[in-house]
Structure 1
């Protein structure tokens, strides 16, 4: 009996061990089954997600197509907005009476300076005008393409507005200044089409004055054009227009015609020597009129003539200061010079167009007194070699010369903020010796966006 105990113990241990092994195998089978179920569920979920992803991808692709179709500009186009807000206050004294056109109340327009009447002297006239019409804004884009950069610009301001008045809301209309597209097809080479500054006008030479334009002797014109640029050379064809003096019943009148068949042709070269940047430009233009005052179907009289213009302009940097200059000369500079101070020519007694030699010049110096205070001093003049009374019966009523002086002081208390005051003097002389002048004090607050 005692000998049987070890055997019983061994048999009991073997049974327990076998039971444990069976139990462990069963658990493993259960775990494997559970894992297989989880794997099957995961596969089913992945398959479902694939279908969802496919559906979402199709929706994204559809939305992307709609976005591209509705996109206002090519993908990758850079946009920029800018401009400035400006308030002007102008106190003016006219030596020879009230001006006949209120445009001169907003800025100096040389041809609108009142002169003494033929009957004798006139009483002086004073006025105060406050406006924000010179405020402007622009919108530009630039897109890089395989063919080169393509950029655009649209710019508006509120000057010369035909709508609005000062009674209640001063709601002046906006007007187009610039609207063009420019294709930079190679380094230093471009093609521009649209409305912008005339290629004949070197804008960098225009003095920094508070007056909207400034010197009477400057070239100042924007018009539709096509311009090709290669390095310093620029060639352009620009919109033509003819404005002529015409004598009717012994009085001088003007007519604006649009019967030209050739655009204004302009060539300009921009150069640089050290701190001096300069330009020389030449212009050839056709003048034409077609008188159909008896009815649009029948021509009463017409003629065509040709004129030219030359311009030398530049800016010389003197540290922070600079000196700007411009000299213009030509036969039929006309509407290009001093806001159309002179017309392009006149119609003689035979109905022929005769041009008038004209010139204009300016010199201006800008000086920084401190980093926050600066001034500009500008002097300018222009003149015309008008015909005699025998050549043109109303010659005595033509403008002979103009002069202007601008001097200002500007405070720059913060970046892009400018507060300033300016003294302006303008002078006009007629061919018969009559003259007129204005004296103006202008204040302005300007903030560039």
Structure 2
């Protein structure tokens, strides 16, 4: 039993040593592999680190390049903004400038330049009862009551006669500036072709129908001040009705353009204007103009406006002078436009005064008359018009007008051959197939009466084609 026990212990010890030896051999064999495996991972990590470092370097380079690009872009934007600040105002979308540089290169910085006008073609047939209006005279081109012939009883004007022309075509230029201090400056000039022929051959209707340019308006304005030639402050152009004729309601309207100095403040405006005296000689032997005046004509106007239209009152004070003789006169004018809705309006004017002659009806009457001793006497005159406008739709509209003027002549001074009154009716249709293009026709009847009760009538049909630009 003892032998057997000892043998078992020895076997167990031998077995333990063998296991320890096997474990040692195994560890010895595995250690190089572990070392080799660790070395491979380190290399892989090192490769990844190197790759990351390369990517970082690339990102840093790209960031530096982006910063340089941003700096260049900012510099370019600054240059563009500077150029825009120095360049003229931007052109509205859809429109391109005619040229790269300013049209009015000599103007103040920030000046805008505009141009406009219209082409107007007129054709008319006229029938007068007491003789014919002289060919080439103003009465053949537009309704001029003083041109209506008045002859002896039974006088015949003959067959109707036709005139065709484009002399009232018009163009204008305007230059507008607002300074850094807020001051407003404006220069305006306007002309048409109603200036007669350049010579006897070229200017008549034989060949070329050539006509000279006529100055209508030329003025400069600075804030509230205006200096130059334009419509008289005594005239309300906004009250004039739309006519196929050049004026239409010529008999009863004020109509004067002349040089003046004007000041406007809110609804008030005042002016001093070119003085000129029209004179009828003793017993009406002749009419003439006198430029002997010293004092200018003085005018004042007040106006109010609203959605309903406008209303205005104007006053005129004048001195008349011929040689050493002087006389004074004054007049008032009330006018306006009253809207009767979206499709209708009424336009009107009433004028009255002493020495109103040259301001009304294209000088139908004179301002003054001379007596037998050569002294001046102011003549009283009255006039006005009323017009109704109706729009059938956005393209077709009509105007009905009545106009009249009358003068209180002292027949002991003027005689019986001067104009006592004139009146006219007008009816028209105007069609606009496209914006700015008007095609119209107008029927008119006019009459001029003398102090001796002689009368002359005018009947006319007039057509027009007008394109505004």
With normalisation by structure 1, the TM-score equals 0.78
Unaligned regions of 5+ residues in structure 1, if any?
Answer: 1-66, 185-189, 291-301
CA displacement at 1:162 relative to structure 2: 4.7
Secondary structure at 1:335's aligned position in 2? helix
Secondary structure at 2:300's aligned position in 1? strand
CA displacement at 1:103 relative to structure 2: 1.1
Q: How many angstroms apart in 2 are the aligned matches of 1:444 and 1:437?
A: 23
Q: How many angstroms apart in 1 are the aligned matches of 2:339 and 2:193?
A: 32
**Contact kept in structure 1, 2:197 and 2:209, CA below 8 Å:** no
Q: Indicate whether 1:395 and 2:415 are aligned.
A: yes
Q: How many angstroms apart in 1 are the aligned matches of 2:285 and 2:266?
A: 45
**What residue number does 1:261 align with?**
294
Q: How many residues are treated as equivalent by the alignment?
A: 359
**What residue number does 2:308 align with?**
275
**What residue number does 2:256 align with?**
221
1:304 is aligned, of 318, 321, 326, to: 326
Q: How many angstroms apart in 2 are the aligned matches of 1:361 and 1:123?
A: 30
CA displacement at 1:378 relative to structure 2: 0.5
Secondary structure at 1:262's aligned position in 2? coil
Secondary structure at 2:143's aligned position in 1? coil
**What residue number does 1:8 align with?**
none
**Contact kept in structure 1, 2:420 and 2:451, CA below 8 Å:** yes
Q: Indicate whether 1:357 and 2:404 are aligned.
A: no
1:236 is aligned, of 271, 275, 281, to: 271
1:382 is aligned, of 390, 405, 410, to: 405
CA displacement at 1:273 relative to structure 2: 5.0
**What residue number does 2:166 align with?**
132
- Cα RMSD between the aligned structures? 1.6
Q: Indicate whether 1:323 and 2:346 are aligned.
A: yes
Moved more, 162-171 or 89-98: 162-171
- Bigger strand fraction: 1
Secondary structure at 1:397's aligned position in 2? coil
**Contact kept in structure 2, 1:100 and 1:114, CA below 8 Å:** no
- Shift of the 242–162 alpha-carbon distance from structure 1 to 2, 3 Å rule, reads farther
Q: How does 1:95-134 map to 2 (within 5 A)?
A: 95-100=129-134, 102-117=137-152, 120-125=153-158, 126-134=160-168
Q: How many angstroms apart in 1 are the aligned matches of 2:234 and 2:185?
A: 23
**What residue number does 1:15 align with?**
none
Secondary structure at 1:172's aligned position in 2? coil
CA displacement at 1:147 relative to structure 2: 5.0
CA displacement at 1:152 relative to structure 2: 1.2
**Contact kept in structure 2, 1:210 and 1:442, CA below 8 Å:** yes
- Shift of the 324–246 alpha-carbon distance from structure 1 to 2, 3 Å rule, reads same
**What residue number does 2:11 align with?**
none
CA displacement at 1:161 relative to structure 2: 2.1
**What residue number does 2:55 align with?**
none
Unaligned regions of 5+ residues in structure 2, if any?
Answer: 1-100
CA displacement at 1:99 relative to structure 2: 2.0
**What residue number does 1:182 align with?**
221
Q: Deviations over 1:306-352 (max 9, x none)?
A: 01010000011222322100000000001000000100010001111
Q: How many angstroms apart in 2 are the aligned matches of 1:444 and 1:337?
A: 25
Q: Indicate whether 1:313 and 2:348 are aligned.
A: no
Question: Which structure has the greater CA radius of gyration?
Answer: 2
Secondary structure at 2:139's aligned position in 1? helix
Q: How many angstroms apart in 2 are the aligned matches of 1:124 and 1:347?
A: 33
